[in-house]
Structure 1
Amino acid sequence: MKLIKSFFVICLVAVLSSCSAPDVEHYQNSQPTFDFKAFFSGKLKAYGVVQDYKGELTRKLVVDMDAEWKGNKGVIEEDFVYDDGETQKRIWYITLNDDGSISGEASDVLGIASGRSSGSVFHWNYDVEIPYQDDTLETHFDDWMYLVTPNRLINRTSIVKFGIEVGQVTLVIEKL
């Protein structure tokens, strides 16, 4: 019986570890090289969809962005318009850190977002309070950005609650 339990635990660990996302360093040789400050400068526009835990489309959105920098400090203003007419504004305060990492703060972000880029990929994590019914939910966002061309990237965000993915946001972001 002990042998069967041990085998089950080993199989479970193998399955769970195979589902984990790669480290951003995995993409170090991918091109074009993603430079956060260079990409998120000036005016940008994003088009996207929100999907629930089953992968069903729940909303569409368009985001107008305006980003400016002073040294290693940046401000990115995002104006969201959803297909149901709801609007939302988020202002990111970004810091490019000496160790190559990037941190960010916004009014609906709990704590500090932290991330890093490697090759053509940028990855960061943060906790967000999102509106839900007549209240808010604390959720975890796992953001992966893939630079496709120097002026276009695809952003995939996994929204997690209690360790379970409850939704996804996919955006195409373009420099104007």
Structure 2
Amino acid sequence: MNMNFMKSFFVICFAVMLSSCSSPDVQFYQDTQPKFDFKSFFTGKLKAYGVVQDYKGELTRKLVVDMDASWQGNKGVIEEDFVYDDGETQKRIWYVTLNDDGSISGEASDVIGIASGRSAGSVFHWNYDVEIPYKDDTLETHFDDWMYMVTPTRLINRTSISKFGIEVGQVTLIIEK
């Protein structure tokens, strides 16, 4: 078989594979209810319960997260205290900004750069890169984070974790006010 044909074939297959992995646009959910309001939901004390799965979908960890969120105008602070089933604890403090254009941005000590996202209808979506502990080192990973408002006091948060564009894990949380 011709080498140029083989190269072209693999490039096309790779492009199709990548495009099939892309997520829907958050605007697709514009007409869904109940309406997700980031500031209203993430105010006060919240509790999350979740699981971490590896790239095969196998359960690797369970976790509980206590959150405390407060706001001054369009600037918010969300403190997250994680407790994993193996006893490990972790703390993340998000500094969130509700921007004039309707977007939301956030920063945290383990987030590389700035998280950015939008909400539409009952859904919020944002992306960010995170440095996560791995063995005795850290890995730079990409988080594709989707939150689905189920009731005014409960949402489901599904996060796809990828490295080099390949999903390596998922985190699923139920967050309650």
- 30, 46, 49: which one aligns with 1:47: 49
Residues 56 and 37 of structure 1: CA distance in aligned 2, closer, same or farther (over 3 Å): same
**3-state DSSP class of the match of 2:86?**
coil
Measure the CA separation in 1 of the matches of 2:27 and 2:99: 17
TM (normalized to structure 2)? Answer: 0.92
Spell out the pairing of 1:2-17 with structure 2 (5 A cutoff): 13-14=15-16, 16-17=18-19
Give ranges in structure 1 of 5+ residues lacking alignment. Answer: none
The answer for the alignment partner of 1:36 in structure 2 is: 38
Deviations 1:19-58 (A, max 9, x none): 3210101100111100000000000000000000000000
| Residue 17 of structure 1, CA deviation | 2.6
In structure 2, what is the Cα distance between the partners aligned to 1:35 and 1:121? Answer: 9
Matches within 5 A, 1:1-176: 13-14=15-16, 16-175=18-177
Counterpart CA distance in 2 for 1:8 and 1:36 is 42
Structure 2 unaligned regions, length at least 5:
none
**Structure 1 residue 13: Cα displacement:** 4.4
Closer/same/farther in 2, CA of residues 136 and 13 from structure 1, 3 Å limit: closer
Give aligned pairs, total.
175
Q: Which runs of 4+ in 1 moved over 2 A?
A: 1-19
The 3 A distance-change label for structure 1 pair 3 and 52 is: closer
Quick one: structure 1 residues 45 and 8, their matched pair in 2 at CA, closer, same or farther if it must change by over 3 Å?
A: same
Q: Percent identity?
A: 85
TM-score, normalised with respect to structure 1: 0.93
Change (3 A) 1:165 1:147: same
Indicate the SS of the match to 1:26.
helix
Aligned residue for 1:66, secondary structure, equals: strand
In 2, Cα distance between equivalents of 1:53 and 1:47: 20
Deviations 1:56-96 (A, max 9, x none): 00000000000000000000000000000000000000000
Shift of the alpha carbon at 1:18?
3.4
CA RMSD of aligned residues (A): 1.8
